[in-house]
Amino acid sequence: MAGRYYVPPKKVAARSATGCRVGLVHRSGARSIRESTRLSTALKETTRSLPATPWGFLPPRMRVLYITTLRRTGAWLAEAFASDSACQVDLEEAFGAAAGLERLRDQAFDAVLISHEPTELDALELLDGLRAGGAEEPLVVLGQASEQEMAALCYEVGADAYVCVNTATTRTVLWIVARATERRNLIRENRRLAQVERHRLQHEQHEAERLLTEQRGLIRDLEALRSGRRGEIVAEPPPLNESIRSYYRELIRAHVIMGSGNLSAEMSALAELLAASGVAAPQAMELHVEVLEELVRGLGSRSARHVMTRADLLVLEILVHLSESYRLRSSTAAIDSRPPSA
């Protein structure tokens, strides 16, 4: 059993001009619908459109589901919205929790209002079940108890807001529903962006692992080419000095943070050390890949793209310095080997 009310758009009355408050009261409350109608008629004389504010705006139209009981229908709520409507409100009502769950299962609503009647309709239990079932609609509880008494209890079971119908104005409820809708949209957008970020980081991790595998293959090809047995798996070179590994590990970390501009002297010193140890280009590349693998594994969920880009630039500069160091050593040896001129 359900009902539907359409609240047409109206000009919004300026509260400051009249000082009146249009309360959300039902037919059994202290103020009747006739009183709300009289207030609405008085407010129409000084109407104005609600301007957009830098901190938010009311949507032009809202489709709202009101879950209530047979004793308290939604006519009073529809009348209250009509008396001070800043937007089009398409109000539909469902009597009982089962009817409300069925409507939410079959249809989509911008917001859901739940009447809290402890003896007939416990909004807290209904909220708990809705959130446990994955409901993401803005949920606002309407009740007669004070906000100090009920607000915290409603927040604990997943409500976006609690409204005391005896003290709140219609405009307040409209803004509460609009802000709750905006909050839910932001939560969904934040969840979507977080998922996109996780996928991006996973993709970067997989890309870094693929590049490291390709660099490993490059090292094997260089070793096979140097030995003259291309395509065969050659024996691993003897391990490098641990001091060289530690030095390169610190250098690559500093290079990732600072770049190459301030580390030219350190890279030249490392190239001289590698040349003095007789380290060839494939061994230097293997040292780079081993240290980089340790660094990428330690990143966890952080981005690997920046690290891989800086590390690739570093190894290129190291190889350039290393080749230049070997060239200078070869030139010096050639000059020293020349016979003295007569």
Model pLDDT for residues 217-259, shown as the tens digit of each residue: 887 777 777 666 545 555 555 567 788 888 888 888 888 887 7
Domain membership of residue 288 (yes or no) is: yes
Q: What is the CATH number of the domain that holds 271?
A: 1.10.1240
Task: Evaluate if residue 287 carries a pLDDT over 50.
Answer: yes
Same domain, 256 and 120: no
Band of pLDDT at residue 1, cut at 50, 70 and 90? very low
Nearest to 137 by CA among 172, 161, 164: 161
pLDDT interval class at 271 (50, 70, 90): confident
pLDDT at 39: 39
Residues 159 and 262 in one domain: no
Residues 41 and 37: their CA atoms lie apart, in Å, by 6
**DSSP-derived 3-state class of residue 53:** strand
Residues 85 and 166 placed together within one structural domain of the fold: yes
Nearest 5°: the CA angle 335, 275, 237 is 130
pLDDT tens-digit profile of 61-79?
888 899 988 877 777 777 7
Query: Distance (Å, rounded) from C-alpha 284 to C-alpha 122?
Result: 71
Whether residues 161 and 267 share a domain: the answer is no
One domain for residues 173 and 277: no
Q: Which domain holds residue 313?
A: 236-337
pLDDT reported for residue 255: 84
pLDDT at 26: 42
Chain centroid, CA 269 distance in Å: 45
Q: Encoding tokens for residue 233?
A: 């798996």
Q: Is residue 44 part of a domain?
A: yes
How far, in Å, CA of 181 to CA of 139, rounded? 9
CA distance 204 to 208: 6
Map residue 303 onto helix, strand or coil. coil
pLDDT reading at 154 higher than 90: yes
pLDDT, one tens digit per residue, over 168-212 is 888 888 888 888 988 998 999 999 999 998 888 888 888 888 888
Residue 122 has pLDDT above 70, yes or no: yes
Q: What angle do CA 279, 285, 290 make, to 5 degrees?
A: 110
Threshold 0.75, pTM exceeds? no
Is 21 a member of any domain?
Answer: yes
Give the C-alpha separation, 125 to 214, whole Å: 57
